[in-house]
Chain A
Amino acid sequence: MSRYAYYPGCSLETMAATYHVSSMEVAHKLGVELEELEDWNCCGATAYSHVDELLATVLCARNLALAEKQGLDIVAPCNACYKNL
């Protein structure tokens, strides 16, 4: 069974909660084990890049560092989070 660090992102945690539920279901059916990235922060998409590019990169770096600590590759269903990570 493959295991991944799961990055829900701010939207899937709240307004797009339905997407989170279906992602978990699909992963379960496919036999993919998802372990939520511990203490993740916002991915740094869109609005930061309007303000400061380096800031957007720093937010990403923290998430990637956390995944490295967990020793897992990272999975993000949200397209903006995925693009940024």
Chain B
Amino acid sequence: MISFREEVDNLLKATEGASLVRCIQCATCSAACPAVEFMDHTPRELIGLINAGLKEEVMVSNSFWTCASCYACSERCPEGIHPADVMYALTRYSLWKDTFDRDWVAPEFSRRFTRTILRTGKSYEPGYAPAFIFEGGFPGMMREMQMALRLLGKGRLPLIPSRVKRIKGLRAMVARVLPLDGIQ
């Protein structure tokens, strides 16, 4: 049976990063991470847990769904590991294995975002953001609405979604790699 570290390495085979076995626990990734204060485990701790084979502890961690995808860690890792790709790999793994916490916003957001792109070819925030407006309670909702109004005032909140003209071509490409009802 393969170890959890090998399992995660296998998920990373198509990426450019080095194997997690190279990690020297220097915490450069954690220091570079702008989202680390919201994570259950810092990127360094997460990689340490993976290398130690503590799968259950890793899979209940919110760290990989909290990653902001800024790639600062991947840029700076002295061992050539791409921690951001590790985060992606674990989010996909938790979707496949259905182990993510239902209370987290990020998995549902990613699905809605992806569905929007498959429909129109471009991102359209007003299309999926309102579903999450109640997440921050009443004060959060007021803040979101104030921001929306300010964006609207500056012409930065589009009212009509922009679309790819040859959407059929894009959908045909996507259908080659996954069935269009594959994103639920």
Contacts and interface: CB of A to CB of B under 8 A. Distances in A.
A62 B173 CA distance: 8
A59 interface: yes
Contacts of B178: 52, 54-55
Size class of the contact patch on chain A = 20 to 34
Which of A15, A50, A52, A79 has the most chain B CB atoms inside 10 A of its CB? A50
A14 B116 CA distance: 16
Given A42-B117, A42-B122, A62 B95 contact: no
Given A14-B156, A48-B114, A50-B107, A55 B174 contact: yes
Contact of B92 (A10, A40, A53): A53
B21 interface: no
Given A15-B157, A53-B14, A80-B69, A39 B174 contact: no
Which range holds the interface residue count of chain B?
35 or more
A80 to B, nearest CB: 7
Q: What secondary structure prevails in chain A residues at the interface with B?
A: helix
B88 A14 contact: no
**The 8 nearest A-B residue pairs measured at CB:** A10-B123, A47-B113, A41-B121, A50-B110, A49-B88, A50-B91, A46-B69, A47-B110
25 contacts: A13-B162, A15-B151, A15-B157, A16-B156, A17-B154, A40-B164, A41-B121, A41-B170, A42-B117, A42-B121, A45-B69, A46-B69, A48-B114, A49-B88, A50-B88, A50-B91, A51-B92, A52-B92, A52-B177, A55-B114, A59-B117, A59-B174, A62-B169, A62-B173, A79-B70
